Amino acid sequence: MSYLNSLRLRIPAAFGPAGRRHSVNAALALAMSLATAAPLAAQNPAPTDERTITPKDTAHTAQQKTLFTYRDALLAGGFAALTVLMFPADRAIARKLTDSSLTTNRFFQNSARGFEGITAPGAYIIGGGLYAVGRLAHKPNLADLGWHGTESVILATAITGVLKGTMGRARPFVTNDTNPRDFQLGGGFRNADRQSFPSGHTTTAFAVASSVTSETRRLYPNAVKFVAPVMYGGATLVGLSRMYHNKHWASDVVLGAGIGTFSGIKVVRYSHAHPQNKVDRVILGTTIAMNGEDGVALGFTVPVK
């Protein structure tokens, strides 16, 4: 907590009452544009440790990739720096997005609820549906997409849950948008109103976006230029909707975007570099078929080693 207090003392004059009013829009634009553009830059394949996989390759084709690269370090550093930079502007951005002229707009209200619903529980429903259809139709690439998207969400949610509970940051509506530095160590494990940092919905949305983009790059590289903007753009709108509903600060959203992006990238990269890992062998080795009596039969492949 002392670190956050010391950070407040070092805020330059540009973030004072007058300067902040002029910088809110720029800060918000910077946060959202980096949350969208940085993951795309990180998806570029490293020239020395990856090879192009054509659509003819199966979903289990091994790719010998380095799990962590210098691009990952740059991306992590960018998200970390942006999260810290958002702290001075958190309060002003919250007030801007929760202004009555916006919150009473029916279109914005319905759109925000829609984006949040698609993310949670939509991410699990869509991912599970893609996996089931892929297994039923014997489409391994589709099953891969559904499972690895869901796996990314599970990993990202676990990381976010630990941070939420540990940091214990009060949500904006609890403090009436006046105290974004209200942290309480361990408070999030006891009180849902202290689970603001980071944003879980944003984490989920970016985990899905990064995993789908990574799988698309692997299978259909020419389609990435269309898929990536749609996925990351949608994920960014989810983050904005959480701020619009006064559930999260801007820094919550930025950190959630970083965790989700990394989770999706790493799950896909690791899974295809280690296609014989036990989790994938069980999940992707499951056979789903109609049993001839209007029912569904399941078959499992259990790894011996």
**The total number of structural domains that make up the chain:** 1
* Euclidean distance between CA atoms 208 and 200, whole angstroms: 12
- pTM of the complete model beyond 0.85: no
Residue 281 lies in a domain: no
Residue 303 lies in a domain: no
pLDDT in tens, 143-171: 899 999 999 999 999 999 999 999 999 99
Buried b (16+ CB within 10 A) or exposed e, 238-274: bbbbbbbbbbbbbbbbbbbbbbbbbbbbbbbbebbbb
pLDDT in tens, 21-54: 444 554 455 445 545 544 544 454 443 334 444 4
Query: Domain range spanning residue 53?
Result: 2-275
pLDDT of residue 259: 96
Residue 288 lies in a domain: no
Residue 302 lies in a domain: no
Instruction: Give me the helix-helix angle, 250-273 and 200-219, nearest 10°.
Output: 40
- Here the CATH number for the domain that contains residue 24 is 1.20.144
Residue 294 lies in a domain: no
Q: How confident is the model at residue 250 (pLDDT cuts 50, 70, 90)?
A: very high
Give residue 176's region: left, alpha or beta (phi > 0; psi -120 to 50).
left
